[in-house]
């Protein structure tokens, strides 16, 4: 396989402990994610996230995941926790995304071709493509139709998510050619608790391409 012109970035999401976050970083993760959505089994408070984020080494991106939250709460959490990137994983409009300062990643739950049709309306840093599942906002462990990624790439950098694990991530990268990959449930022992072996194998698979 031809070597990629740039390394694919890796984000390990759903961090709830410093131990798991540090292990991911030591394995080579470029970013770690904190979920600020109370209904998620991986939810953390701003205080919990800050305690972890403050101890991470430099050059590791701290990403806050929000679902239909107010701009005021997002901005306050970003400042308090020292977040580098905001990931909007709900029904946020293009206008709402513009209100958020700094780097913004808009998550898109891909159901069909219509899901990626109007991405040009969003002035964001990247799009995270995840699988659509009724009533859920991510972490479903399910894949979507990867053939739709090519259309999305026309509108900006794409981060591939949804059902990725150590066994299929290289295929996902080969087919989709994303800027980065995002993994959560695919490297867990249970919701909110990472499996160290799977985290290491996932990151090694990506970095080895």
Euclidean distance between CA atoms 39 and 139, whole angstroms: 12
209 residues of the chain, pLDDT tens digit each: 455 567 999 999 999 999 999 999 999 999 999 999 999 999 999 999 999 999 999 999 999 999 999 999 999 999 999 999 999 999 999 999 999 999 999 999 998 899 998 899 999 999 999 987 655 555 566 789 999 999 999 999 999 999 999 999 999 999 999 999 999 999 999 999 999 999 999 999 999 98
The structural domains of the chain, ordered by start, are 9-207 (3.20.20.70)
Whether 13 is catalytic: yes
Whether 184 is catalytic: no
Catalytic residue among 20, 130, 165, 182: 130
Catalytic residue among 13, 97, 176, 184: 13
Phi-psi region of 81 (alpha: psi -120 to 50; beta: other; left: phi over 0): alpha
DSSP 79-125: HHHT-SEEEE-SS--HHHHHHS-SEEEEEEEESSGGGGTTGGG---S
């Amino acid at each position: 396989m031809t070597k990629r012109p740039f390394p694919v970035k890796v984000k390990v999401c759903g961090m709830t402990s410093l131990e798991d976050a540090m292990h991911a970083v030591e394995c080579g993760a470029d970013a770690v994610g904190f979920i600020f959505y109370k209904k998620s089994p991986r939810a953390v408070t701003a205080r919990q996230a800050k305690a972890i984020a403050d101890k991470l080494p430099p050059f590791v991106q701290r990403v806050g995941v929000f679902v239909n939250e107010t701009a005021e709460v997002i901005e306050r959490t970003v400042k308090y926790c020292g977040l580098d990137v905001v990931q909007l994983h709900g029904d946020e409009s293009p206008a709402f995304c513009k209100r958020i300062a700094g780097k913004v990643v808009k998550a898109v739950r891909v159901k069909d071709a219509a899901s990626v049709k109007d991405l040009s309306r969003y002035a964001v840093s990247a799009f995270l493509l995840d699988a659509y599942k009724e009533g859920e906002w991510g972490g479903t462990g399910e894949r979507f139709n990867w053939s739709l990624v090519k259309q999305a790439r026309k509108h900006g950098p794409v981060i591939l998510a949804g059902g990725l694990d150590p066994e299929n991530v290289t295929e996902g990268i080969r087919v989709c050619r994303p800027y980065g990959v995002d993994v959560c449930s695919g490297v867990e022992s249970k919701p909110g608790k990472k499996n160290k072996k799977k985290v290491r194998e996932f990151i090694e698979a990506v970095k080895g391409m």
